[in-house]
Amino acid sequence: MAASSTRKNPIRLLLICVAGWTALITLAHLAANVGFSGFAEDARVALGLERRSLRVGFLPVT
Amino acid sequence: MDWTTRHSKRGALFESRRYSDWPTLAEDLSTGNLTASFLLAPMAMSLKQRGVPIRVVYLGHRDGTTLMVRADSGITRFDQLRGKRILVPSRYSNQKLWIARLLRENGMTFSDVELSDCPPPDMPAMLATGGCDAYATGEPHAARAEMAGTGKVLLFTKDSWPNFISCVLVVREELIRTRRDLVQELVDGIAGSGLWLDRSQENRFEAADVVGKYYYNQDPELLRFVLSKPPDRVRYSQLTPLRKDFDEIMNLAVGSGMLERPIAFEEYADPSFADAFPGSPLPMPGDTEGTKP
């Protein structure tokens, strides 16, 4: 039923394809450039749930 | 780190994580458990060659390494260390390369001395008990023996290899890719603190008191000694990674077998953060002219 309706409505099919492609590109960008944990951290920082943090290792010499 | 946090424009939290040995630190950096760290310069090159995605973005300090011998040894020249046991912090340390350089300058090779690794905090006791004849390490572990009267300075790097680099600041490449602003704030904070430290002896004493008490768990008098006797024993300015310095380290590391093959500066260093540093000391407590260059 749904398949036949999209076949009958090319605009709807186009919108579904564009939305799917956008979601795919967004996920690929998150995976390649941000990382899902980084994205989750961004979201928590944006929502004010935590501060952005960076831990720096050192040995107590000089 | 606390002061960098306090001056973070984005409200970021910078924390320090203390390690007691280099291999554990390198392992955490390799696995991604740690994304930023101070690390021995040749160790950073070696890790990069082994596929660990890190970049040197800044230096920890310049000079600040000393070659110590027993106070009662009668040794006054490097060539008198022939046949003696010398300790270095790690086989990937710049201190080992300094010894290689000194051996070459004195017509000697590694086969003329007995070189061993030792954690820097243990070195003064090793020297005092006869476990070694000399050691080369970053401060404050040379000054400890000097203050205790068990050791004496044979050489400072500042006189033997000026602008010596020991520790460098490395960050993982994904942090540069995804959190460039955070890395810049870290570099700005370290650079700004360094400029403030090198501005006056009073600033150095103030830092020794705070750092000794709250961070290093060291006697503030020891750190005051390190930062003043002589004042240029260790320097915290001019910390941009420079190709000529690193090429010299890399060539020595290849020559001494520390690195398997040469590695180009561009592969492991990213001086863009140091270049973008605005050049102002961080304002410190009670410091009315802290923002002036």
pLDDT of residue B290: 44
Q: Are B99 and B115 in contact (CB under 8 A)?
A: yes
pLDDT of residue A5: 60
Helix (H) or strand (E) holding B154: strand B151-156
State the smallest CA–CA distance between residue B120 and chain A in angstroms.
8
Q: Are B226 and B140 in contact (CB under 8 A)?
A: yes
Length of chain A: 62
Q: Which of B94-103, B255-264, B274-283 has the lowest mean pLDDT?
A: B274-283
pLDDT of residue B166: 83
pLDDT of residue B289: 47
The full set of domain ranges for chain B reads: 2-60+165-198+236-276, 64-160
Q: Helix or strand or coil: residue B44?
A: helix
Rounded to the nearest 10°, the torsion over CA B188, B163, B20, B189 is -10
Length of chain B: 293
Q: What is the pTM of this model?
A: 0.79
pLDDT at B73 over 90: yes
Residues of A in contact with B21 (CB under 8 A): 59
pLDDT of residue B291: 41
Those of residues 19-58 in A touching chain B at CB distance below 8 A are 33-35, 38, 51-58
Buried b (16+ CB within 10 A) or exposed e, B28-46: bbbeeebbbbbbbbbbbbb
The answer to whether the B2-60+165-198+236-276 and B64-160 domains have the same CATH topology is yes
**Residue pairs between chains A and B whose CB atoms are closer than 8 Å:** 98
- The CATH fold assigned to B64-160 is D-Maltodextrin-Binding Protein; domain 2 (3.40.190)
Q: Are B251 and B212 in contact (CB under 8 A)?
A: no
Nearest to B189 by CA among B284, B63, B271: B284
Using the beta-carbon criterion (under 8 Å), do B14 and A53 form an inter-chain contact? yes
pLDDT tens sequence across B125-184: 999 999 999 999 998 899 999 999 999 999 999 999 999 998 899 999 999 998 899 999
Report the share of chain B in percent with pLDDT over 70: 90
pLDDT of residue B247: 95
A30 or B56: which carries more pLDDT confidence? B56
Using the beta-carbon criterion (under 8 Å), do B65 and A62 form an inter-chain contact? yes
pLDDT tens sequence across B275-293: 998 877 666 655 554 443 3
pLDDT of residue B123: 95
Residues of B in contact with A61 (CB under 8 A): 89, 120, 137-141, 166-167
Can you point out the beta strands (E) in chain A? 53-58
Residue of A nearest to B166 (CA): A62
Residue of A nearest to B39 (CA): A58
**Cβ contacts of B90 within 8 Å, gap of 6 or more:** B22, B40, B43, B96, B117
State the smallest CA–CA distance between residue B248 and chain A in angstroms.
22
pLDDT tens sequence across B198-216: 888 888 888 888 777 766 6
How far is the CA of B245 from the CAs of A2, B163, B234, in angstroms? 68, 8, 17
pLDDT tens sequence across B21-39: 888 999 999 999 999 999 9
Rounded average pLDDT over B69-84: 96
Q: Which CATH architecture has domain B2-60+165-198+236-276?
A: 3-Layer(aba) Sandwich (3.40)
pLDDT tens sequence across A1-54: 555 565 678 899 999 999 999 999 998 887 877 677 777 777 777 787 777 788
Residues of B in contact with A32 (CB under 8 A): none
